[in-house]
Amino acid sequence: MVKIIYEDNHILVVEKPINVPVQRDETNDVDILSHLKEYIKERYNKPGNVYLGLVHRLDRPVGGIMVFARTSKAASRLSDAIRKREFYKRYLAVVHGILKDKSGKMNDYILKDSSTNIVSIVSSDTIGAKQAILEYSVLDTNENFTLVEVNLLTGRPHQIRVQFSNSGHPLYGDQKYGRKKNRPGQQIALWSKEISFIHPTTREYVKFESSLPNLEPWSWFA
């Protein structure tokens, strides 16, 4: 179910399939974390419960590269790197419309409603609001759609989706933040393309990538 990109004694890098939850949710569908724990248990003949640390997430409909920690030390160091913004994540997305600028930065404050699981753009003085920053560059256009690369500087829930929607360019297929422009059943065009960080034990800089699926709307672009 899950493509293994890289593994050693401290980290496990995988390609998450679309529409599979990272953790078990109310649907009780098979989730990535449980699947990978079972994979480690079988591959290395591990008795009892297997440790696998979840240090970052992808929304259920989003696919692409992820890293898990195989030790608590690795989990702590990767989490620390994320807090210090030394863990770099690049995404590809297809958005509605043609962006005016070939590159830019979005800097907003967002607030998550836990009861509805919906994130909103709010003023900076809103209680509980968190700053959300991303950089983007246009890679290609196709009729009324744009392929963008996104460098996520903060890892807020639904950040890319809500910030592009707020700018007037919701993501293709996003049923939550682009209902007016997307048809029911369309798959969201957001992909975790690349992650890079300092390896938690070797202290070497590492970078991992995953390839886009050969599906629309990705196939519209060269």
SS3 per residue for 15-74 = EECCCCCCCCCCCCCCCHHHHHHHHHHHHCCCCCCCCCEECCCCCCCCEEEEEEECCHHH
HSE (side-chain half, CA atoms, 13 Å) at 35: 18
- DSSP letter at 219 equals G
Q: Is residue 219 part of a domain?
A: no
135: burial class by Cβ within 10 Å (0-12, 13-18, 19+)? middle
Residue 126: CA count within 13 A, CB half-sphere: 15
The count of structural domains within the chain is 1
Range of the domain at 75: 3-213
Whole-prediction pTM: 0.92
**CATH number of the domain to which 187 belongs:** 3.30.2350.10
Q: What is the pLDDT of residue 179?
A: 86
Residue 220 belongs to some domain of the structure: no
Say if 181 falls within a structural domain.
yes
Report if residue 218 sits inside a domain.
Answer: no
Q: Report pLDDT digits (tens) over 122-176.
A: 999 999 999 999 999 999 999 899 999 999 988 898 999 999 999 999 999 999 9
Whether residue 103 lies inside any domain: the answer is: yes
Is 113 within a domain? yes
Give the distance from CA 90 to its chain's centroid: 8
**Does residue 52 fall inside a structural domain?**
yes
What pLDDT score does 30 carry? 85
Please list, residue by residue across 12-35, b when 16 or more beta carbons sit within 10 angstroms of its beta carbon and e when fewer do: bbbbbebebbbeeeeeeeebbeee
Rg of the chain over CA atoms, in angstroms? 18
7: three-class secondary structure by DSSP: strand
Mean pLDDT by 10 residues, the chain (222 residues): 93 95 81 93 86 93 96 96 92 96 96 90 93 96 94 91 96 92 91 96 96 92 84
- Residue 55 located in a structural domain: yes
Residue labelled with tokens 């890079």 = 196
Query: Distance between CA 117 and CA 54 in Å, rounded?
Result: 20
| Confidence at residue 47, expressed as pLDDT on a 0 to 100 scale | 82
* Catalytic-role residue among 31, 59, 80, 113: 59
Decide if 25 is catalytic: no
- 35 vs 184: CA distance, rounded Å: 29
